[in-house]
Amino acid sequence: MAETAIELKGISKSFGAVHANRNIDLKIEAGTIHGIIGENGAGKSTLMSILYGFYQADRGRIDVAGKTVTIDTPSDAIALGIGMVHQHFMLVQNFTVLENVILGAEGEALLKTSIAKARSELERLERDYGLEVDPDAVIEDLPVGLQQRVEILKALYRGADILILDEPTGVLTPAEADHLFRILEQLKDEGKTIILITHKLREIMAITDNVSVMRQGAMVATRETAETSVEELAELMVGRRVLLQVEKGEATPGDVLLAVEGLTVKDSRGVTMVDNMSFEVRAGEIVGIAGVAGNGQSQLLDAITGVRKAVSGTVTLDGEPVDLTGAADPADLRERGMAHVPEDRHHVGLVLPFEENENAMLGYHRQAKYLNGPFLNIEAIRADAREKIEKYDIRPPDSRLRTANFSGGNQQKIVLAREMEQDPKVLIVGQPTRGVDVGAIEFIHKRLIDMRDQGKAVLLVSVELDEIRSLSDRILVMFAGRLVGERGPDASESELGLLMAGVEEKEAAE
Amino acid sequence: MDFFHSLILVLDSTVRLSIPLLLAALAGLYSERSGVFDIGLEGKMLAGAFAAGAAAAVTGSAWAGLGAAMLISIFLALVHGFASITHRGNQIVSGVAINFIAAGSTIILGQAWFRQGGRTPSLPGEARFSSIDLPFAEAVRDVPILGEVYSELISGHSLLTYAAFLLVPFTWWVLFRTRFGLRLRAVGENPAAVDTAGISVSWLRYRAVICTGVLTGMAGTYLSLAQNAGFVKDMTAGRGFIALAALIFAKWRPVPVMFACLLFGFLDAFAIRIQGTPLPLIGQVPVQFMQALPYILTVVLLAGFIGKAVPPRAGGVPYVKER
Amino acid sequence: MSTPYAKLPAWADYGLIPLVNLAVAFLVAGLVVMLVGENPFRAAVILVDGALGRGQNIAYTLYYATSFIFTGLAVAVAFHCSLFNIGGEGQAYVGGLGVGLVCLAFDSILPWWLVFPLAIVGAALFGAAWAFIPAYFQAKRGSHIVITTIMFNFIAASLMVYLLVNVLKPAGAQAPQTRNFLEGGQLPKLNWVLEAMGFSIRSAPFNLSFLLALLAAFLVWVLIWRTRLGYEIRMRGFSPKAARYAGVSETKIIIVAMLVSGALAGMMALNPVMGDQNRLQIDFVTGAGFVGIAVALMGRSHPAGIVPAAILFGMLYQGGAELAFEMPNISRDMIVIIQGLVILFAGALEHMFRPSIQALFASLSPRSAGVEAQQGEGG
């Protein structure tokens, strides 16, 4: 007979004028894995943050194990046995694993004895749950998958019976994700309750017992996982029938427009992040680089676009080589026909306090059409922005509005409109649909296919394997800074997953 | 022997000149390690110096002076904390504001209360932290080398001086061996991690800022009650900023901070020593150059030898719960 | 990407909140006055009368305001690039050296209206030069510009004293200052403008550089919001990463912004040196560089706010001089306290009253308190 571990009744939360959670009711049975699914911006993280005491609800009630409780701070939640593994890890980078685990649960004012006790307890937990990690390792030296183990150990160390995981697989290979799921099942068998927040339908179907769907701040439906399907969940998430695959014709690749040769990039600590990579992209094709986040993709993009110096390597644009070890200039690369939609639109691709029209020319602002000698040609700038707003259906259609006031999807459209309308030869795109709602995703995917059909060379870097597989004409897999394999668009997810995990080609074939 | 004697005197001066820097730098360490950038060390030190001088003049007690100095510095530190932590304001602007408020207030109140042109009355020995002779200092004075080292260099400093040096290992211990220190360092690197662990980021930072107040109060007291015999207007003369530079140079660690401050003290002492004496080749060095030397050195230090000093990751950034 | 605060109508954002911040700053200043044993209301009356009561006083107020417009613009330009230039005091001091050298060289050969443009160049060049080294070290070595510019203020003081005592002083003279400039080195006064409006002025240093200051304010507006360079400065000020992405050289933009800032601070020197004292002497800046910080913050780094803020501080300076007369306990240093309080409330605590004002607005008119939520914008 299932008990209720958590019940939320009538939870509402607004941030200023934005209603993040609207009158949400949710029941979670003890000893189950309960998924909460919804697209980006649906309110899932906010809801769980309220349960964890990070935020306080404006209205509503929380019951834990049948009793109404108030959770004002995370320490209240921890005391009730609720633990949370956050999407962006809450770890102190230059502390050791042990220091991170005891932070806040030290036990005594002097560290000496607390550390000794914590060490043995930690080692026990690691053994029991297969979460092995060296207690004295420094966090910033650990790969992301191991850092996540530390996050989980933190929660278990504090005696969590209810474990919330927020988008845990974004930084894992498919194999690591499977390992994680097995740990979650083991925890469930011991009677713990797991809440899994994700936007990935496949995961929900794989391990959850029940699933609740959120849309635009409201709880839309709850189903038993065994009795629903991917299609039904997708439709509930979006509110209409969804095309899960983009339609595209055959690619007809032409000349090589982008050639990267011998690219090696080190980060600020001297660690090699890109290791002697070489590849080509032809006109009229989309090349997708698949890989788990943190394997050098960001450094690759930064180096190719001139934002970061490489240790060695050249990029050749339509036959003209550019040395990337010197002062490769983003402005120069733009003039040669390279457009770049960066991974981080908030801090790199856009200047959020600027007006929309000021962002519509960001990076291209030296062009004569925007200038009058040293002065800005305000009329031309605004007219240009208005054209792009119309063409790309950017809403609200106000070129004088501060960019921060546009939604994620519309902000991304501003960036895309700017880069695509320059009619570049090569388009480099990083994480194009991160934090973007499904309607805009469809639009963006269509536009990328259009660019390909117009004969551009498109390099797509994304951690969303589905996106890579649905858009790319060729897939390159990146692991630990190296290209470890090339496949066609029909490659299976498991095959790509093995490559993404660093399994060598010949091993994978065995 | 004459050279050795001069050396001892210079080293003795070094110690005296470095103490206000050391106390101010240690003060800044607590604040900055917790993620609150503090450019207002100068103002707090000045206000502390004034309060100490005023209280000591009125009560005749050096300890009352120290207490008053700490109170006023803590008050100003809390104002900075209020602006930076609770209201998430620009921490540099807040520090600059406090410097001006302290500068103006000390002169106005000094003139209004004591009518001596902005200074506090000259203090008799009992109202100051005068030099202390360690046991046997007189007796061993004539012992060659070691005797002079003991009686001139090690003995004969004020209580605050000895306290300042003891604070260095104490600060190290607090930072790396206590729960408070662990949390303090954590909140300066990743306040969100501290918040999700159920610890109040604000309260932790306020406590750090209070520590800053205590130590800048001590620094100010040293200036007006140990080094001098009373408060003189603008007596900090930029030391608070030099202390900050020393802190950055030492990469926010307690023991290197001590050496950095001693280095500054030494250069200052050396400059005073050779003033008026023509140097070989250069001749007479203009007095204005000597006056400017500590500031020039600070710039050189910040520009030349640091390379990439990595501050606490969350330094200077107000903590806002991510939405 | 969220700001922690909701939206207020524009007039409240740019008008009401700054006024409230200012009012609180003055309130606290009033408390200090009481601590000294004087009556703050009587002090306020004396202050306002001292600033505006007679034509003479208005002229002095505008004379001081001229200096503050320049230094406020200097701080503002650097702020737009997210740089805190506290070195205006030193840059103005060294700018004066530029003015002095030009005047000493040409005051007997050329009329004032030819010396003036040369002096402007001299002031700007020397002021910019004094800002260059801190700018370079910030750009190339990451040395904190706040600390280095403060250091350069101290170094400037020593340097100028050395020059005035040992190099520029006429032989045989006692005072550390240059000789007086001849007519070629003297700017005409503008007192006649006020006299034409009906005020009577015995003598006041209000001079032509005031018009230059107003022109500079206009040109700064054009620079920041209407030129490509200004666009790049603002870009870097908001987001250095985006600026790098857009191909703007971080080093170049930091140095250029600081050079412009230093040049504006240097130009402040024209007011006292060429417009009033007609010689170069010790510490003619008298804290104007620091007032510039308060002026820039109060004026929210926009010329349209800086000019009124500068006039307000001019009133404080002039009124303060009268006040020091009548209330000997309150010297000029009171201005330093007020300056600090304005910086605190208009700068670090600028959002302190926002929630209360927002709540006020929400209760009076719910619609004005925020933009309608867009769908799907939850967490």
**Residues C162-219: tens digit of each pLDDT:** 999 988 888 888 888 998 998 888 999 998 888 888 888 888 899 999 999 999 999 9
Question: What pLDDT, on the 0 to 100 scale, is given for residue C5?
Answer: 46
What are the tokens at B227? Answer: 């080094």
Indicate which CATH number applies to the domain containing C155: 1.10.3470
pLDDT band at A244 (very low <50, low <70, confident <90, very high): low
Query: Between these two residues, A443 and C225, which has the higher pLDDT value?
Result: C225
State the burial class of residue A221 (Cβ atoms within 10 Å of its Cβ: 0-12, 13-18, 19+).
Answer: middle
**Is residue B133 one of the residues assigned to a domain?**
no
Contact A93 B190 (CB under 8 A): yes
- Cβ contacts of residue C177 below 8 Å, gap of 6+? C164, C168, C169, C279, C280, C281, C282
Contact A18 C373 (CB under 8 A): yes
C window 201-240, beta carbon within 8 A of A = 222, 226-229, 231-232, 234-235, 238-239
Question: What pLDDT, on the 0 to 100 scale, is given for residue A209?
Answer: 93
pLDDT band at A239 (very low <50, low <70, confident <90, very high): low
Distance from C-alpha of A340 to C-alpha of A362, rounded to nearest angstrom:
11
SS3 B37: coil
Is B27 within 8 Å of B87 (Cβ atoms)? no
Question: What pLDDT, on the 0 to 100 scale, is given for residue C373?
Answer: 38
From chain A, the residues in CB contact with B196 under 8 A are: 52, 54, 74, 84, 86, 90
For all residues of chain B together, what is the average pLDDT? 88
pLDDT band at B121 (very low <50, low <70, confident <90, very high): confident
Question: What pLDDT, on the 0 to 100 scale, is given for residue C136?
Answer: 95
Residue range B61-120, pLDDT digits in tens:
999 999 999 999 999 999 999 999 998 888 999 999 999 999 999 988 888 888 887 788
- Cβ contacts of residue B304 below 8 Å, gap of 6+? C141
Contact C375 A216 (CB under 8 A): yes
- Cβ contacts of residue C91 below 8 Å, gap of 6+? C74, C85, C127, C128, C130, C131, C152, C156, C261, C262, C265, C266, C289
The nearest alpha carbon in chain C to A438 belongs to: C376
**Is residue B249 one of the residues assigned to a domain?**
yes
How far does the CA of residue B50 sit from the closest CA of chain C (Å)?
A: 15
**Is residue B314 one of the residues assigned to a domain?**
no
What are the tokens at A352? Answer: 């959020």
Question: What pLDDT, on the 0 to 100 scale, is given for residue A508?
Answer: 46
From chain A, the residues in CB contact with B323 under 8 A are: 15
- Amino acid at residue number C1: M
Distance from C-alpha of C74 to C-alpha of C289, rounded to nearest angstrom:
9
How far does the CA of residue A358 sit from the closest CA of chain C (Å)?
A: 9
Chains that touch C (3 or more CB pairs under 8 A): A, B
Is C78 touching B (CB cutoff 8 A)?
Answer: no
Give the highest mean pLDDT range of A322-331, A402-411, C76-85: C76-85
- Amino acid at residue number C239: S
Residue A33 confidence (pLDDT) above 70: yes
Residue C4 confidence (pLDDT) above 60: no
**Is residue C360 one of the residues assigned to a domain?**
no
How many CB atoms lie under 10 A from the CB of residue C69?
34
- Cβ contacts of residue C52 below 8 Å, gap of 6+? C58, C61, C315
Which residue segment(s) compose the domain that C180 sits in? Answer: 62-308
* CA quadruple B297, B303, B309, B315: dihedral sign: positive
First to last CA, chain A: 46
Distance from C-alpha of B235 to C-alpha of A197, rounded to nearest angstrom:
60
Distance from C-alpha of B287 to C-alpha of B297, rounded to nearest angstrom:
16
- Mean pLDDT of the A47-64 span: 91
- Mean pLDDT of the B296-302 span: 86
Q: How many domains does chain C have?
A: 1
Contact A111 B182 (CB under 8 A): yes
From chain B, the residues in CB contact with A111 under 8 A are: 177-179, 182
How far does the CA of residue B209 sit from the closest CA of chain C (Å)?
A: 16
pLDDT band at C250 (very low <50, low <70, confident <90, very high): very high
**Is residue B172 one of the residues assigned to a domain?**
yes
Residue B45 confidence (pLDDT) above 80: yes
- Cβ contacts of residue C343 below 8 Å, gap of 6+? B93, B96, B97, B100, C293, C294, C297
User: Mean pLDDT lowest for which of A235-239, B9-13, C159-163?
Assistant: A235-239
pLDDT band at A241 (very low <50, low <70, confident <90, very high): low
Is the ipTM above a cut-off of 0.90?
no
Q: What is the DSSP string of C145-194?
A: HHHHHHHHHHHHHHHHHHHHHHTSSPTT--SSB-PPP-GGG-PPB-HHHH
Question: What pLDDT, on the 0 to 100 scale, is given for residue A426?
Answer: 94
Q: Which residue carries 């010396």 as its tokens? A: C115
**Is residue B50 one of the residues assigned to a domain?**
yes
Question: What pLDDT, on the 0 to 100 scale, is given for residue C17?
Answer: 79
How far does the CA of residue C86 sit from the closest CA of chain A (Å)?
A: 25
**Is residue B16 one of the residues assigned to a domain?**
yes
Question: What pLDDT, on the 0 to 100 scale, is given for residue A45?
Answer: 86
pLDDT band at C375 (very low <50, low <70, confident <90, very high): very low
Residue range C21-71, pLDDT digits in tens:
888 888 898 888 888 888 888 888 888 888 888 888 899 999 999 999 999
From the list A16, A330, A378, the residue facing C245 with the nearest CB is: A330
- Mean pLDDT of the A197-207 span: 84
Closest CA to A405 of C236, C372, B322: C372
From the list C5, C370, C378, the residue facing A41 with the nearest CB is: C378
Contact B179 A54 (CB under 8 A): no
Question: What pLDDT, on the 0 to 100 scale, is given for residue C1?
Answer: 30
Closest CA to C67 of C328, C327, C257, C335: C335
Distance from C-alpha of A246 to C-alpha of C184, rounded to nearest angstrom:
78
- Mean pLDDT of the A107-135 span: 87
Domains of chain A: 4-238 (3.40.50.300), 256-351+408-509 (3.40.50.300)
Percent of chain C whose pLDDT exceeds 70: 94
SS3 A124: helix
A window 111-140, beta carbon within 8 A of B = 111-112, 114
From chain A, the residues in CB contact with C379 under 8 A are: 15, 20-21, 41, 43-46, 49
Question: What pLDDT, on the 0 to 100 scale, is given for residue B76?
Answer: 97
**Is residue C259 one of the residues assigned to a domain?**
yes
Query: Between these two residues, A19 and C57, which has the higher pLDDT value?
Result: C57
- Amino acid at residue number C308: P
Q: How many domains does chain B have?
A: 1
What are the tokens at A387? Answer: 């054209």
Question: What pLDDT, on the 0 to 100 scale, is given for residue B117?
Answer: 78
pLDDT band at C282 (very low <50, low <70, confident <90, very high): very high
Residue A344 confidence (pLDDT) above 70: yes
Query: Between these two residues, A502 and C89, which has the higher pLDDT value?
Result: C89
- Mean pLDDT of the A79-104 span: 91
Question: What pLDDT, on the 0 to 100 scale, is given for residue A242?
Answer: 56
Q: Please tell me whether the peptide bond between A424 and the residue prior to it is cis, using omega within 30 degrees of 0.
A: no
Residue A251 confidence (pLDDT) above 70: yes
Sheet strands side by side (includes A312-317)? A272-282, A256-266, A312-317, A320-323
**Is residue C7 one of the residues assigned to a domain?**
no
HSE toward the beta carbon, residue A494, CA cutoff 13 A:
3
Distance from C-alpha of A46 to C-alpha of A218, rounded to nearest angstrom:
12
Is A277 within 8 Å of A158 (Cβ atoms)? no
Residue C123 confidence (pLDDT) above 90: yes
**Is residue C163 one of the residues assigned to a domain?**
yes
Question: What pLDDT, on the 0 to 100 scale, is given for residue C88?
Answer: 96
- Mean pLDDT of the B307-319 span: 74
The nearest alpha carbon in chain B to A92 belongs to: B190
Question: What pLDDT, on the 0 to 100 scale, is given for residue C376?
Answer: 37
**Is residue C13 one of the residues assigned to a domain?**
no
What are the tokens at C314? Answer: 């001019």
Query: Between these two residues, A328 and C314, which has the higher pLDDT value?
Result: C314
Distance from C-alpha of A306 to C-alpha of A185, rounded to nearest angstrom:
46
- Mean pLDDT of the B5-18 span: 89
Which residue segment(s) compose the domain that B221 sits in? Answer: 2-125+138-302
- Amino acid at residue number A184: L
Residue B310 confidence (pLDDT) above 80: no
Question: What pLDDT, on the 0 to 100 scale, is given for residue C369?
Answer: 45
Indicate which CATH number applies to the domain containing B71: 1.10.3470
Question: What pLDDT, on the 0 to 100 scale, is given for residue C36?
Answer: 82
Question: What pLDDT, on the 0 to 100 scale, is given for residue B38?
Answer: 93
**Is residue C90 one of the residues assigned to a domain?**
yes
Interface test with A, best of B180, B187, B196, B203 (most A CBs within 10 A): B196
Is A108 touching B (CB cutoff 8 A)?
Answer: yes
- Mean pLDDT of the A60-81 span: 91
Residue range A147-164, pLDDT digits in tens:
988 999 999 999 899 999
pLDDT band at A2 (very low <50, low <70, confident <90, very high): low
**Is residue C148 one of the residues assigned to a domain?**
yes
